[in-house]
Amino acid sequence: DQQVKQNSPSLSVQEGRISILNCDYTNSMFDYFLWYKKYPAEGPTFLISISSIKDKNEDGRFTVFLNKSAKHLSLHIVPSQPGDSAVYFCAASAQGSNYKLTFGKGTLLTVNP
Amino acid sequence: DTAVSQTPKYLVTQMGNDKSIKCEQNLGHDTMYWYKQDSKKFLKIMFSYNNKELIINETVPNRFSPKSPDKAHLNLHINSLELGDSAVYFCASSQGLNNYNEQFFGPGTRLTVL
């Protein structure tokens, strides 16, 4: 049962344009959402997060939007840079679950120069 | 200086063997985790330890036994390895359990069972 879904396995964008990565979830108990970035042969690294009490969180070029009614979140990267090319994982956590993270399958973002 | 380190990075072994993967963190965190990323690319939590106490055990076969000798180490021992155990195993750590602190991941250990 996939509680966190990233339906696009890959995304390709041009340098300087916006990258939009999407994530859907099914568990209404999730109240905290995170994005992790992973380069090949490395572990995931934290990128940005958002609490369910907010609908937007911004950090430099990265913005996460949360639509609770649609159980959907998205990560916007603008402008995209070649160094952003990586796998992006969406993750979610619920207060009553010992704060364990449930991850999606990831989306491979390729930013072309 | 590596924050979360795992050894070995690669592990190739025969079915039925017993193997261990070691994890160490130098971040002063009190919570550590083991994740498994299988061939379908899902990252799934296996165990978490807080102050050397087992907190999360996600219906992992009892062939998998985590050991936390101290807060900075969480090792994973696997008995009677099976083909389905082939995966990348990630260790992670964070500070505190009852909050949403960021988890820091190690580089992963790619286990191949032949």
Task: Summarize pLDDT for A83-101 with one digit per residue, the tens.
Answer: 999 999 999 998 776 778 8
**What is the identity of the amino acid at B86?**
S
CB B101 within 8 A of CB B46: no
A98 touches chain B (CB under 8 A): yes
| pLDDT at res. B99 | 59
Tokens 């991941």 map to which residue? Answer: B105
Contact B90 A43 (CB under 8 A): yes
Percentage of the residues of chain B whose pLDDT score is greater than 70: 96
Q: How far from A76 is each of A9, A89, A93, B91, B111, CA to CA, in Å? A: 16, 13, 21, 28, 34
pLDDT bracket for residue B1 (50, 70, 90): low
Q: For residue A45, give both structure tokens.
A: 């690294």
Q: For residue B98, give both structure tokens.
A: 């009852």
Contact B106 A43 (CB under 8 A): yes
Taking residues B31-58, report their average pLDDT: 88
Query: Distance from A16 to chain B by nearest Cα, in Å?
Result: 29
| Cβ-based neighbours of B56, under 8 Å, separated by 6 or more | A98, A100, B33, B45, B47, B48
3-state class (DSSP) for residue B9: coil
Beta strands (DSSP E) in B8-114 are: 10-13, 19-25, 31-37, 43-50, 53-57, 64-70, 73-78, 87-94, 104-105, 109-113
A32 touches chain B (CB under 8 A): yes
B39 has a pLDDT exceeding 90: no
B100 has a pLDDT exceeding 80: no
Residues A28-40 as b/e (b if ≥16 CB within 10 A, e otherwise) read eebbbbbbbbbee
A57 touches chain B (CB under 8 A): no
Reported as type and span, the H/E element at residue A10 is strand A10-14
Q: How far from A7 is each of A24, A82, A93, CA to CA, in Å? A: 8, 23, 19
> What is the C-alpha to C-alpha distance for residues B68 and A77, in angstroms, rounded to an integer?
39
